[in-house]
């Protein structure tokens, strides 16, 4: 039998699953705790260096298991300190991950899919099409590699304080891989991040929001972008299946019985499309249904789009109306736009199985 076929990539396993795996090879479950601490606390992926394992086990592990990570293909650093990595995930596919340093915090924006199947009209990732879901190892591997580059912090403040599943892809369409990765982010044997410091962003996959709510304690962000179903259908096609009323009901269920928990709503402001005062007033009525925070995101252009960013005065007016409705509304500062690392700009480099890129290019040529 081919050794590579039967090897278990331990980066694919959350703590309980890893304990089960060690028991399946005749070892005690506590071996998982030892390996997890080496991997996530010390940044060690060489079994021979894990000296508190028995010599017999250290010799045996390379034939049974691996610790395989997506390799860094390139790194770009923005003038504002934002870092963007391109990760090789095989098959001539590459995904993007972004680190945003701020005073007192460092946020890592992680991808969950190679491309995205949802085709939101204002998003560069959606315009690039879709190839496949990422594995748990490829998701948590982005965190591990970023922590290695930035420096593991054993004493004092860690560099990565927050992780947001807001990179390429719809996380809730890849729950089988995303949930174990989130568990590793949260668990003390992994990165030990508090629930409010791990955020999952969704375009509104209602059934999966309920699954997430019942499975893990993490923060929820919803890509809303319009308070009106007809317009949201155009911006976020998933809305045709799960309209705003159903989405808000799922958000209400998510925060129920959670002390001081709120949902963060993301709203990309597109000039002349969704940035009118009436949109803001209708948004107030909508967000009053659930404890809410609103992130207003100036649209970040990408090649081929006809959309433009709202003018500064329109953004300011929109924010003022929301704030007058007693809802917290912040305008997200554009970060990393000089390296195409801003919100909505992540595109990666991959084989588009949907041929969406090809169709868009043909349409642009026809329009020209």
Q: Among all residues, which ones are annotated catalytic?
A: 96, 343
Strands 83-88 and 71-77: antiparallel
- Interatomic CA distance for residues 252 and 262, integer angstroms: 9
3-state SS class at 334: coil
Please name which of 180, 97, 88 lies closest in space to residue 136, comparing C-alpha atoms.
180
Helix axes 175-186, 206-215, angle to 10 degrees: 30
The Cα–Cα gap between 74 and 39 comes to 23
Quote helix, strand, coil % in the chain, to nearest 5.
Answer: 40, 20, 40
Distance of alpha carbon 338 from the chain centroid: 21
Name the residue with tokens 């000089």.
338
**What is the C-alpha to C-alpha distance for residues 69 and 85, in angstroms, rounded to an integer?**
14
Residues 6+ apart with CB under 8 A from 39: 10, 11, 45, 67, 144
Give the C-alpha separation, 118 to 161, whole Å.
29
């Amino acid at each position: 039998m081919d050794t590579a076929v039967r090897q278990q990539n331990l980066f694919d396993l959350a703590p309980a699953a890893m304990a089960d795996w060690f028991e399946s090879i005749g070892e005690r479950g506590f071996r998982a705790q030892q390996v997890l601490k080496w991997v996530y606390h010390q940044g060690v992926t060489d079994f021979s260096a894990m000296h508190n394992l028995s010599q017999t086990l250290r010799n045996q592990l390379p034939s049974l298991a691996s610790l395989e990570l997506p390799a860094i293909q390139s790194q770009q650093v923005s003038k504002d300190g934002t870092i963007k990595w391109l990760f090789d995930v095989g098959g001539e596919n590459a995904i993007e991950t972004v680190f945003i340093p701020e005073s007192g915090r460092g946020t890592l924006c992680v991808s969950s899919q190679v491309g995205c199947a949802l085709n939101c009209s204002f998003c560069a990732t959606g315009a690039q099409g879709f190839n496949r879901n990422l594995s748990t190892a490829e998701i948590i591997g982005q965190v591990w590699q970023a922590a290695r580059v930035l420096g593991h912090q054993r004493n004092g403040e860690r560099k990565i304080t927050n992780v947001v599943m807001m990179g390429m892809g719809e996380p809730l369409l890849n729950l089988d891989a995303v949930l174990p990765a989130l568990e590793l982010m949260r668990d003390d044997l992994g990165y030990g991040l508090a629930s409010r410091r791990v955020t999952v962003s969704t375009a509104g996959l209602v059934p999966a929001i309920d699954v997430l709510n019942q499975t893990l304690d993490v923060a929820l962000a919803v890509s809303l972008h319009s308070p009106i179903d007809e317009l949201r259908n155009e911006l976020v096609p998933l809305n045709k299946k799960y309209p705003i009323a159903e989405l808000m009901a799922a958000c209400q269920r998510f925060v129920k019985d959670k002390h001081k928990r709120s949902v963060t709503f993301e709203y990309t402001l597109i000039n002349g499309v969704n940035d009118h005062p009436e949109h803001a007033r209708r948004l107030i009525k909508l967000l009053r249904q659930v404890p809410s925070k609103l992130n207003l995101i100036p649209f970040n252009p990408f090649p081929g789009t006809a959309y433009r960013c709202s003018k500064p005065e329109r953004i300011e007016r929109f924010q003022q109306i929301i704030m007058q409705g007693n809802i917290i509304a912040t305008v997200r500062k554009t970060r990393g736009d000089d390296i195409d690392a801003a919100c909505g700009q992540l595109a990666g480099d991959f084989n588009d199985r949907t041929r969406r890129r090809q169709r868009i290019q043909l349409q642009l040529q026809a329009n020209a």
